[in-house]
Amino acid sequence: MSLRARLLLILLLATLLPTGLVGWRFIQEREKELAEARRTLAASARRIGDELDARVQGTAQLHYGLSRARDLETTDRAACSAFLSAVLDERPQYTGLLTIRPDGALFCDSLRSGRQLDLRDREYFKQALTKRGEVALQPTFGRLTGISVLQIAYPVRDGAGPLKFILLASLNLEKFTQDRLREFVTPQPQILLVDRKGTVLVWSGNASGRAAAGSLIADSALFRLANQSTGAGVAEIVDARGETQVWAKDEIASSRLHGVRVLLGVSKVDLIAAANKRLAQDLTFHALLAVLLFAAMWAIAELGIRRQIGRITEMARRLGEGQLDARIAEPYPRGELGGLMAVLNSTAGSLQRQRADIEDLGQQLRQSQKLEAIGTLAGGIAHDFNNILAAILGNVALARDDLAPGHPVERSLSQIDIAASRARDLVQQILAFSRRQSPALVALSLRPLVEDILGLLRVALPAGVSLHTDLTDAPIHVQADPTQLHQVLMNLCANAAQSLQGQSGHVTVGLALVARSAARSAGVVCEEGSPGCAHLWVADTGSGMDESTRLRVFEPFFTTKSAGAGTGLGLSVAHGIVTAHGGALTVDSRPGQGSTFHVYLPTVASGAPVLTPSMPPLRPPAWSGRGERVLYLDDDEVMKVLVERLLTRAGYRPVCFGSAQRALAAVRAEPVAWDVVVTDYSMPELSGVEVCRELVAIRPGLPVIIISGYVSDELRVAARAAGVREVIQKQYTLEELGPAIRRALTPTDA
């Protein structure tokens, strides 16, 4: 027998057998699916019961909250009704909210009906009179609305004293069932709610001949199903039209407190409709598949299966040996085998590219790890360096305060103050990059910021590189983060200087105001009424770039420098910052003609408040201590001396410790002797957060302030969880410590 005949015979058997099995499987699985549908129906009924219980619990919590509202403890009936009406507007699941006096008289209601009702005959009122801290329930029809509701009453008492009033919420059972029906897609069920006596509360869903709300079905099979205490809780019941309905009850209805029986019904025809449809689809699919397989098998056999499979096998073998450059030579046969060959070749190419991509990703990962290490290192350096800066700035301020006006030393102290402030700002710039913070936008004048940065650049540029400027005198105001703009200009200028490759040349920094139309062509939209768009550019006389390099220059990790000479992140970071400011960063360059990077930023209207960068000399603020005892904890001796002088001069009584254990021992000895504790975060024995936890255990409520040279988001979260009142940066001790102590000493309810 030929290979083609064998394949066709196998295919015939392979298609006839599944077709015969489809019918047999349908008979078996339809019953299984029906049983599964019953279980699902029962679970859905139970879920509806659970949801109703959850609504009761939610109402109980609402009552508890309302019972403490002063708006209900009033003799003004209209004001009380208005308050309940406002509460009802936010909670459409209720038909009404009302209060009942202990004598059973309706006092106020959310419907503002003004009716005089005696509710002493209501079951929920009688139950509420005997309850404490729990709700009374009664399914009924609202006397004011006529809607099927679950009355949920809550007695409000004065502690262990007498009853003040009863809060009543009417849970809308009709809306509840309609909301539940929307949770079902297909088939659409019926939801029936009855009370213990067999009164129909709600019957929702598409069903003819259903009983109306308020009618009794106590003698029906449905009510017997709802009340049975044993069994599966699912039954098939024939309705008035002779159609079989599958009904499921809430299996734990008898143990629920709300007194409502939940029944969920679906037509049996609808339950098995999906199985019948699937049978027809399966048979159609098998018939079509058989025809297609016969035709395909005939063509495949004719074209020579064995030869083509041999080519595929050889390709697979070479791939298995790791030869990712292996390919199946053309021409390919028509049909599935040809497609498979093309897919194999494509897969081999994809694997080859993936291997190259993995190597690139590995390199990027190493670069990312370097950056992460730099960020971690920056945080650690910032903590120690900010300790030094805080001590320098604080002592300079104290020294200047001690000098007589016009003293010759004043000028030297001012220079120290300016240099230390600049160093503090530089540390903040390093931390801003390592934290990847969102821009803190303020309205500022752009030229003073550029001139301040140019002062740093003149010192930082290599020898032989001159810095030229072309700055407009016109005022240009932008909404920007000055720290991040500082980073953008520094990156662009550093890139321009490096493009000179050690040769002499010059870097030009320019600033101008361009028309809104020019900015629009660069992709920047300026505010209506603004004079135009800010154009900042950095040009160099370096070697320039070809077109392929220019198109990739803003890609992360792309660099033309030699290995180890750069990360390839400077321009991509600058591009990201400018884009985050709503601006655009472009580049013009040609080989041998240098490069010019253009920064376009939207301006703000001239009437906006503008920040002009300045560095006023720091002086000790006018703190207002009244002899409060302040415990200061820091392992840095210089900071201890500085803060002690600051606090003493401000009118506090400071006691400084260099050891966390000694400080805790002092608090244990005299817990109430201290008004506030100020502690450094990073110390050898315990961190500032751990010290706060110990202090809370010794004396709850003692205000604690943490000072740290590096304040991260993680530190703020941990400090808040431990009960710390304030977290301030150590480099701003002079400006922030006094106000922080005053806020900590101010009562929280003031």
Query: E strands within 385-516?
Result: 442-445, 465-471, 477-480, 505-514
Sheet containing 136-141: give its strands across: 106-109, 94-100, 163-172, 148-157, 136-141
Helices 268-303 & 3-66 angle (0-180, nearest 10): 150
Which one has a higher pLDDT value, 97 or 318?
Answer: 97
Return the pLDDT at 539: 92
Of 45, 257, 262, 52, nearest to 138 (Cα)?
Answer: 257
Which letter, b or e, does each residue of 621-653 get, where b requires 16 or more Cβ atoms within 10 Å of its Cβ? eebebeebebbbbbbbeebbebbbebbeebebe
Over residues 18-69, the pLDDT tens digits come to: 777 767 777 777 788 888 888 888 888 889 888 998 999 999 999 999 988 8
Residue type (1 letter), 674: W
Task: Please give the pLDDT value at position 699.
Answer: 92
Instruction: Report pLDDT for 281.
Output: 76
pLDDT at position 228 is 79
Q: What pLDDT is recorded for position 509?
A: 92
Distance CA 601, CA 656 (A): 50
The number of beta carbons lying within 10 Å of the beta carbon of residue 594 is 22
pLDDT digits (tens, 9 = 90+) for 186-223: 788 889 899 888 899 998 887 666 788 888 888 888 88
pLDDT of residue 287 exceeding 90, the answer is: no
State the pLDDT at residue 436: 44
Residue 340: band (very low, low, confident or very high) from pLDDT cuts 50, 70, 90: confident
Q: Residue 619: is its pLDDT beyond 50? A: no
Higher per-residue pLDDT: 145 or 73: 73
Helix axis angle for 268-303 and 305-320, nearest 10°, is 100
| Model confidence pLDDT, tens digit, residues 392-418 | 877 777 777 777 777 777 777 777 877
Q: What is the pLDDT of residue 350?
A: 84
Please give the span between the terminal C-alpha atoms of the chain, in angstroms, as a whole number: 100
Q: What is the pLDDT of residues 534-565, one digit of tens each?
A: 889 999 888 888 887 777 777 665 566 654 44
Alpha-carbon distance 612 to 451, whole Å?
Answer: 12
In this prediction, residue 57 carries a pLDDT of 92
pLDDT value at residue 616: 44
Q: How does pLDDT run across 563-598, given as a tens digit for each residue?
A: 444 444 567 777 878 888 888 888 888 888 888 998
Q: What is the mean pLDDT of residues 327-350?
A: 80
Please provide the DSSP assignment of 511-551 as one string. EEEE-HHHHHHTT--PPTT---EEEEEEEE-S----HHHHH
Phi/psi of residue 600, each to 5°? -110, 130
pTM attached to this predicted model:
0.39
* 3 — pLDDT class (breaks 50, 70, 90): low
pLDDT tens digits, residue range 461-519? 777 788 888 988 888 888 888 878 888 888 888 888 888 877 888 889 999 988 877 66
Q: What is the dihedral of CA 360, 365, 370, 373, to 10 degrees?
A: 180
Percent of residues, the chain, with pLDDT higher than 70: 82
pLDDT-derived band at 685 (thresholds 50, 70, 90) equals confident
Mean pLDDT, range 702-712, rounded to an integer: 87
pLDDT score, position 373: 62
Give tens-digit pLDDT for 414-471. 778 777 776 766 666 555 545 444 556 788 888 888 888 887 777 667 777 888 889 8
